[in-house]
Structure 1
Amino acid sequence: MTDAPHDTVGVVLAGGLARRMGGGDKPLRTIGGRTILDHVLARLAPQCGTLVINANSDPARFEAFGLPVVPDTVADHPGPLAGVLAALDWTAEHRPAAEFVATAPGDCPFLPRDLVARLHAARLAGNADLAIAQSGGQAHPVIGLWRVALRADLRQALVEEDIRKISRWQARHACVTVDWPADPVDPFFNANTPEDLGAAERLAALLPD
C-alpha cells in the first residue's frame, strides 16, 4: 500500500448544524455566485484520489455534486470526530488500499492547494499517524490527515469514553502540525455567520483565482 497524496481519500465535513448562520447547510451558501462547497471541492479534488461528503439527514441535497454522501456512524451527532470516524469507516470499506483520509470542513472556501502534500510530508518527516493544519499560529484540528488504522481507537473514544474534543483524541497519538501564513488571506477562513459571507466575498477578490 502507498500513502501518496493521490491515494488519500478527501472528505468534506458538512454535518454541522450551522446555528450561527441561522440554520441550513453552510456549504450551500454562495460566494461569488458559487456555493462554498463548490469552492472547497475545486481546491481539494486535485489533491486526493477520491472525494466524499460527510453529512447527515437527506443526502439528496448534495446530489448535484455527484459524490458519495456518508452519514455519521455513531448516534446523536456528537460533533466533528463522528464525521472523521464515518470517513475512516467508509474508506476502510470502499477504498481499502488507502491508508489516510484528509478532512476539511465544508465552510472553508480558500483551502490551500498544497494542503494534502504538505501534511503528508510533515507526517512522514515526523513519523506520525496524524497531521493537522494551522495558520498564523492557530491550530485547526478538523483540517488534517488521519490514519485509517486508528478508526477502532477513535470509535472507542467516542462511544465508550465520550471524548468529543478533537485535540484531546489527537494528543493520544503521534501528531504533527503544519503552519500556513494567514496573510493576505487565511487559507482556513471559515464562513460561520452571514457577516462572514460578506467578508469572504471581499477576501476572494484578493486571490488570483
Structure 2
Amino acid sequence: MPRPRSLTESQIAAAALAVIDRDGLAALTMRAVARELGTGTMSLYRYVDDREQLEALIVERVLGAVDTTPPAGGPWRERLVTMVERVRDAVAAHPEVVPLTLTHRQSSPSNLRWAETVLGILTEAGVDGERRVIALRSLIAYVVGAIQLEHLGPLSGAGTRRIAALPAGEFPLMAETGRLAAGVPADEEFRAGLAVLLTGLEREARTDGA
C-alpha cells in the first residue's frame, strides 16, 4: 500500500473552495473535498477535525487575499471605501462563501486584521465608543448583504424585470423602481449604497465633535 501523501492546510482549503465554486455551498462535504484532493475521506480527517474547521480554512483562504494595510493618506471616507472594496473584490470572486464569512469571521486572522484597520480609521474620524462598534458592524453587514444581493438578486436579473412589469395602478412606485433599477450597474449600486452609509457615519462624527 502506498503511503498517503501529506497535505497542507493551503491545499485542503483550495480544494474545498474549488468544490464550492463549482458545485455550490450545499455540496461542501468532507467526502467531496477528499475526492477533489484525490484521497480518502478518512485520510482527510488526519488534517481536519470536522466541517467547521474546514469552513474556517476556506474563509481564511478567501479573506487572506484582502490587503489589510491601512490606505496611505486621503480623507477617512475614501480610506474606508478602499477597505470595504478590498473585501468585496476578494469575496465577490467566491460568492458562495459569503454565508461562511459571517459564521467564521471572528476566527479569521485576516478578518481581524482588516477590522483592526477599519477601527483605526473610524477612530481617526472621531467615531469611538459604542458608535464605533455599530459603525464596524454596519460596514460588515453592508458588504456581506450587498454581495449576496449582487449574487442572488442582481438588478440586471429576472427579479427586477418582474418588478418592472407589476401593474402600475396597484404598485406605481415598485414598478417605476424596477424600471429604473434595470439601468443601474452593479458597481454603481455598491458604491452609492456605501456612500449613504458613510454619510451617516460622517454626520455622527460631526455631532460628536460639535
Question: Per residue, is there more strand in 1 or in 2?
Answer: 1
**TM-score (norm: length of structure 1):** 0.26
Give the number of the structure whose alpha-carbon radius of gyration is greater: 2
Question: Per residue, is there more helix in 1 or in 2?
Answer: 2
